[in-house]
């Protein structure tokens, strides 16, 4: 990683915030030049002499076992090196790998089939074409068993998750009484579909062994999780596994776990004694690497005539695989978003012969805000109260679930600011009244929310003799801006130009950082960088004070300051460059390892981000096509670390919300137990033509109770609330309330 080309301008792009010192804002992404010039390398693009190619075979039945795999014709093909099957694969120390950092992996230790498209073998050949062709010649015989399909018909099979009702369900107050006594009630069921992540870069792994040591390039959100899981699964010491991933081409949660193909690639590399690279085909992204579970959400709202909520009930059912329970926590936000004395949230699961569910951008909140925020809109309509007013009438000043104060909450300002920017006051509350030619126009809104997470993290900061600063942490760059804010944070520490900072991440030899999931990387890693910078600066000040040749000789730290690559006196300004100081003192780098933990008072407050989302839709009266013309959203996410990368993430989240509202759905053939749209032609996601104007603002009010930077994380909140705001806008436009997401033309036509 070369960092910024020296010619790149990084003109300041400061954001006004009256509240505190602002972080330096880099107008150019640290990794931008490398990406646009093609120098940034993704896992599959690395190579080693003699590299060979793996191709993963997957099952074509959803349930049963493999009785035989005839590889005779495939093995005879030129270039084929090995074909691993459940009948010849090396035995692993853990027969059903499911280590803590991992998931139930399908790594050829048994012949069981739990879902269609499950990994059942790996062909390794000298070229990818040879491997893929060989795989097509392998004859697989199955002994099928009846598959658990037809989710909708099997809702009565729903059971509590294996982790237990206590973990997933919560009740406060008397919800039955609240519902019985309420003057106004809403009783509705919303559903959300199975979604698959489909980052542009598919999952890909490149593995080679040096003796007993394993090296891996893997497209991942969690290098140290990969490392732990590979070590545990393969039965080797953690120190013998080295994982690298300088860039991840999107992950969205699917790359937060170590799935089967990572382990299979390492196994294949061992068997053939060569470097093996393996990428999933697009169709293999549908099952083997997780999905957002389908949900059925039953909601009951009980309110007074004035719109005060007396009770909220949110009972959720989601699908899980037969291998493990991954629960879409769709009732989570319902507990804390509005004040109401009675509150019940529950989560039950229906087993299906499908791949595992997993984390997908705002797992829980993305789905749960669909049900909750649409149900509130239905209540507002019944009450003839403005939807924003209804939310203000039930505004939670403290966390209603824990009764703890929020670390910082400015949701009212979000409603006001986004509402003003949108022009909400022009909304006609009566559906179907606003028309432009053949377009019915509708306005809708919803609340966005996501918890603020933080984990312990470490970082190394090193002042080099040439005056540049190196900062390293074993975190990941998913396209989020991690390189950029790491450079900014180190530069802020030394009050120097970020162009003088070199960043390294995505290497398991670096100090440990958490999974890039749960929107926690900025909030976890940057404080560790600040800590390391502080330690290095203390060492440098001590060095100067002790150095008789330094202009700062004999000064106390409080009398010195760092500025523009110099250490100087606060008063008078005499001082020297950091290069000069180091040159006289051994000419070696000065480094420190910084650490950051969750704040001491994490248990004394509730930390969440919030936002308000407003949407305008146009619905064609003949075709029922929906165009989302505008989304205006304002977020309270604490400090906005970088305007470009932060706004970009929020905008990406909003685009995914539009996708959730109108397009994305994985269609399951219940007879064959397989998805029928396992490609980007038929798995619809928005293209540019589908996206209108998106206006994103952040309040940028630092939450310094949460961490010293005041940043709460930004990766996931952008998707939340958006699909509800759009559904509510469609109702306002048409008077049609579609409760089965996504809201496609057929549903609007038939309702």
Provide the annotated active-site residues.
Answer: 716
The residue (of 253 and 355) whose beta carbon lies closer to ligand MOS is: 253
Task: State both tokens at 481.
Answer: 């801006």
Strand partners, 438: none
The residue (of 102 and 221) whose beta carbon lies closer to ligand MOS is: 221
Q: From CA 322, how far away is CA 284, in angstroms rounded?
A: 19
Number of amino acids touching ligand MOS (CB under 6 A): 10
Q: From CA 277, how far away is CA 285, in angstroms rounded?
A: 17
> How far apart are CB 494 and ligand MOS at their closest, in Å?
31
Stretch near ligand MOS under the rule CB under 6 A, chosen from 115-123, 170-178, 279-287, 356-364: 356-364
Binding to ligand MOS, residues 357-376 (CB under 6 A): 359-361, 363
The residue (of 145 and 456) whose beta carbon lies closer to ligand MOS is: 456
Give the N- to C-terminal CA distance of the chain in Å, as an integer. 55
Binding mask 254-273 for ligand MOS (x = CB under 6 A): --x-----------------
Q: From CA 395, how far away is CA 610, in angstroms rounded?
A: 12
The residue (of 703 and 716) whose beta carbon lies closer to ligand MOS is: 716
How many alpha carbons fall within 13 Å on the CB side of residue 534?
10
The residue (of 225 and 256) whose beta carbon lies closer to ligand MOS is: 256
> How far apart are CB 197 and ligand MOS at their closest, in Å?
9
**Would strands 213-218 and 241-244 be described as parallel, antiparallel, or unpaired?**
parallel
Binding mask 512-531 for ligand MOS (x = CB under 6 A): -----xx-------------
Comparing every residue's Cβ against ligand MOS, the nearest one is 253
DSSP string covering 572-639: T--EEEHHHHHHHTTS--EEEEEEE-S-GGGGGSB-EEEEEEEEEEEEETTT--EEEEEEEEEEE-BS
Per residue, what are the HEC states of 654-680? HHHHHHHHHCCCCCEECCCCEECCCCC
Residue 156: partners with Cβ closer than 8 Å, 6 or more residues away: none
The residue (of 24 and 519) whose beta carbon lies closer to ligand MOS is: 519
**Closest Cα partner for 648 from 746, 714, 568, 567?**
714
Place of tokens 């030129």: 78
- Tell me the Cα Rg of the chain: 27
> How far apart are CB 333 and ligand MOS at their closest, in Å?
15
**Closest Cα partner for 283 from 685, 686, 742, 681?**
681
> How far apart are CB 716 and ligand MOS at their closest, in Å?
6
Binding to ligand MOS, residues 167-226 (CB under 6 A): 221
Binding to ligand MOS, residues 581-640 (CB under 6 A): none
Binding mask 435-474 for ligand MOS (x = CB under 6 A): ----------------------------------------
Binding to ligand MOS, residues 289-328 (CB under 6 A): none
Evaluate the CA torsion angle 668, 673, 677, 679 in order and state its sign: positive
> How far apart are CB 359 and ligand MOS at their closest, in Å?
4
Strand partners, 232: none
Residue 176: partners with Cβ closer than 8 Å, 6 or more residues away: none
Q: From CA 411, how far away is CA 334, in angstroms rounded?
A: 16
Q: From CA 414, how far away is CA 245, in angstroms rounded?
A: 37
The residue (of 259 and 338) whose beta carbon lies closer to ligand MOS is: 259
Contact 197, 219 (CB under 8 A): no
Q: From CA 55, how far away is CA 90, in angstroms rounded?
A: 17
Residue 660: partners with Cβ closer than 8 Å, 6 or more residues away: 192, 195, 366, 370, 719, 722, 723, 741, 742
> How far apart are CB 170 and ligand MOS at their closest, in Å?
21
Q: From CA 226, how far away is CA 229, in angstroms rounded?
A: 5
253 sits near ligand MOS (criterion: CB under 6 A)? yes
Evaluate the CA torsion angle 571, 576, 579, 583 in order and state its sign: negative
> How far apart are CB 545 and ligand MOS at their closest, in Å?
45
> How far apart are CB 705 and ligand MOS at their closest, in Å?
23
Neighbours of 95 (CB within 10 A): 9
> How far apart are CB 594 and ligand MOS at their closest, in Å?
24
> How far apart are CB 611 and ligand MOS at their closest, in Å?
17
Binding to ligand MOS, residues 678-717 (CB under 6 A): 716
The residue (of 514 and 638) whose beta carbon lies closer to ligand MOS is: 514
The residue (of 519 and 732) whose beta carbon lies closer to ligand MOS is: 519
The residue (of 256 and 673) whose beta carbon lies closer to ligand MOS is: 256
Contact 239, 252 (CB under 8 A): no
Q: From CA 447, how far away is CA 449, in angstroms rounded?
A: 7
Interface residues toward ligand MOS, by CB under 6 A: 221, 253, 256, 359-361, 363, 517-518, 716
């Amino acid at each position: 990683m070369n960092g910024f080309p020296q010619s790149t301008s990084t003109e300041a792009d400061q954001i006004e915030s009256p509240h505190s010192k602002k972080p330096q804002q880099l107008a150019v992404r640290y990794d931008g030049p490398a990406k646009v010039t093609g120098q940034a390398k993704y896992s599959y693009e690395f190579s080693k002499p003699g590299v060979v190619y793996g191709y993963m075979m997957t099952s074509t039945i959803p349930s049963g076992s493999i009785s035989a795999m005839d590889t005779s014709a495939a093995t005879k093909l030129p270039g084929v090196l090995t074909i691993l099957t459940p009948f010849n694969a090396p035995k692993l120390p853990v027969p059903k790998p499911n280590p803590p950092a991992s998931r139930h992996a399908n790594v050829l230790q048994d012949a069981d089939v739990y879902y269609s498209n499950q990994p059942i073998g790996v062909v390794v050949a000298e070229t990818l074409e040879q491997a893929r062709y060989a795989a097509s010649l392998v004859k697989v015989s199955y002994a099928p068993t009846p598959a658990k399909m037809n989710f909708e018909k099997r809702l009565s099979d729903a059971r509590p998750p294996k982790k237990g009702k206590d973990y997933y369900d919560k009740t406060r107050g008397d919800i039955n009484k609240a519902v019985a006594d309420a003057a106004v009630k809403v009783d509705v069921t919303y559903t959300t579909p199975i979604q698959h992540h489909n980052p542009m870069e598919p999952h890909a792994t490149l593995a080679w062994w040096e003796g007993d040591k394993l090296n891996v390039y893997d497209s991942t959100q969690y290098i140290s999780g990969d490392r732990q899981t590979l070590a545990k699964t393969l039965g080797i010491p953690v120190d013998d596994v080295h994982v690298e991933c300088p860039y991840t081409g999107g992950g969205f949660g699917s790359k937060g776990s170590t799935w089967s193909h990572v382990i299979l690639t390492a196994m294949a590399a061992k068997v053939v004694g060569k470097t093996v690279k393996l990428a999933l085909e697009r169709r293999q992204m549908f099952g083997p690497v997780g999905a957002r579970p389908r949900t059925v959400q039953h909601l009951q709202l009980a309110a007074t005539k004035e719109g005060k909520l007396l009770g909220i009930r949110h009972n959720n059912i989601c699908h899980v695989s037969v291998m493990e329970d991954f629960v879409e926590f769709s009732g989570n936000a319902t507990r804390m978003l509005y004040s109401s004395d009675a509150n019940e949230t529950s989560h039950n699961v229906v087993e299906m012969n499908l791949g595992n569910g997993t984390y997908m951008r705002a797992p829980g909140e993305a789905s749960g805000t669909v049900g909750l925020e649409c149900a509130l809109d239905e209540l507002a309509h019944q009450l003839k109260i403005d939807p924003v007013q209804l939310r203000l009438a039930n505004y939670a000043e403290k966390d209603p679930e824990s009764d703890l104060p929020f670390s910082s909450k400015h949701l009212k300002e979000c409603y006001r600011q986004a509402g003003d920017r949108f022009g909400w006051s022009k909304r006609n509350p009566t559906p179907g009244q606003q028309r432009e030619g053949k377009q019915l126009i509708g306005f809708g809104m919803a609340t966005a929310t996501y918890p603020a997470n933080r984990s312990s993290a470490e970082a190394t900061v090193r002042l080099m003799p040439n005056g540049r600063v190196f900062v390293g942490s074993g975190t990941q760059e998913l396209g989020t801006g991690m390189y950029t804010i790491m450079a900014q944070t180190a530069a802020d520490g030394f009050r120097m130009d970020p162009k003088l900072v070199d960043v390294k991440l995505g290497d398991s030899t670096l100090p440990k950082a958490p999974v890039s999931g749960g929107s926690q990387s900025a909030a976890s890693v940057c404080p560790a960088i600040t800590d390391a910078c502080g330690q290095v600066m203390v060492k440098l000040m001590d060095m100067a004070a002790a150095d008789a040749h330094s202009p700062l000789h004999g000064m106390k730290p409080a009398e010195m300051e760092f500025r523009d690559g110099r250490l100087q006196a606060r008063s008078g300004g005499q001082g020297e460059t950091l290069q000069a100081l180091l040159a006289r003192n051994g000419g070696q780098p000065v480094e420190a390892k910084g650490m950051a933990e969750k704040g001491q008072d994490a248990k004394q407050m509730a930390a969440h981000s919030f936002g308000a989302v407003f949407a305008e839709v146009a619905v064609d009266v003949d075709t029922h096509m929906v165009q989302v013309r505008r989304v205006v959203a304002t977020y309270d996410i604490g400090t906005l670390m970088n305007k470009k990368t932060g706004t970009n993430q929020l905008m990406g989240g909003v685009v995914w919300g539009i996708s959730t509202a109108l397009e994305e759905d994985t269609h399951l053939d219940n007879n064959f137990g397989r998805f029928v749209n396992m490609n980007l032609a038929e798995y619809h996601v928005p293209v540019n033509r589908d996206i209108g104007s998106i206006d994103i603002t952040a309040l940028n009010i630092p939450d310094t109770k949460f961490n010293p930077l005041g940043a709460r994380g930004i990766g996931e909140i952008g998707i939340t609330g958006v699909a509800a705001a759009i559904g509510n806008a469609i109702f306002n436009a048409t008077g049609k309330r579609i409760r089965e997401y996504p809201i496609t033309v057929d549903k609007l036509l038939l309702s």
